Amino acid sequence: MKFSKILMALPLSLLSVSAIAGMADINGSTKCTIVDSIIKNKAIVKACTYEGAVGGSMSYAISQLSFKLSNGNIYRTVDNATFDFGKGGQVQNLKETVLLNGKTAEVVRLNHKTFKKISDKDIESRYENINPDFSDVLQCFKYVKQDAAFCVSYEFINRIS
């Protein structure tokens, strides 16, 4: 590599290092919910371990986690987003990449008993309380155009974010 290219690449690499300064490696254990069918309300809850990285700033959020069940099955999740904020503080220009085991997915929030979707508006209204209760909420990675999902508690997601 020519010296001029190194000089050009060096500031960019330093900027990228400072841009990810909000990253942290995490690991531990939690409960994972494997939903075979959202419509049929068919799921199992299993203990699992996790490891990965989470981070963010005022313009991006990154979560890349690997969950291992006691039977050896592994679920890999990616939820990377860039965004900015409007004058009223609302998120705008959201661009999100969501993957489950390397395949395109979407994040949905489900009631942990009924598996009915919980709207963003409902989640936002809960934050208005001094002690918001999310004990009934699962954050799920659902394959696009499929009825199956991999879920963890929304409280877990809040705790690691």
pLDDT (tens digit per residue) in 35-56:
999 999 999 999 999 999 999 8
The band of 108, judged by pLDDT with boundaries at 50, 70 and 90, is: very high
Whether 2 has a pLDDT exceeding 60, the answer reads: no
Whether 117 has a pLDDT exceeding 90, the answer reads: yes
What are phi and psi for residue 5, nearest 5 degrees?
-70, -35
Across the chain, mean pLDDT equals: 87
Whether 145 has a pLDDT exceeding 50, the answer reads: yes
Predicted confidence at residue 14, as pLDDT, reads 43
What is the CB-side half-sphere exposure of residue 60 using CA atoms within 13 A? 14
Spatial separation of the C-alpha atoms in residues 98 and 149, rounded to whole Å: 13
Whether 11 has a pLDDT exceeding 60, the answer reads: no
Structural element, H or E, at residue 24: strand 23-37
Looking at residue 111, its amino acid is N
Q: The whole model's pTM is what?
A: 0.81
Predicted confidence at residue 110, as pLDDT, reads 97
Predicted confidence at residue 88, as pLDDT, reads 82
Please state the separation of Cα 141 from the chain's center in Å: 8
Taking alpha carbons only, the member of 139, 137, 134 closest to residue 157 is 139
Looking at residue 82, its amino acid is T
Whether 4 has a pLDDT exceeding 50, the answer reads: no
CA distances, 5 to each of 2, 11, 16, 83, 111 (Å): 5, 11, 17, 31, 53
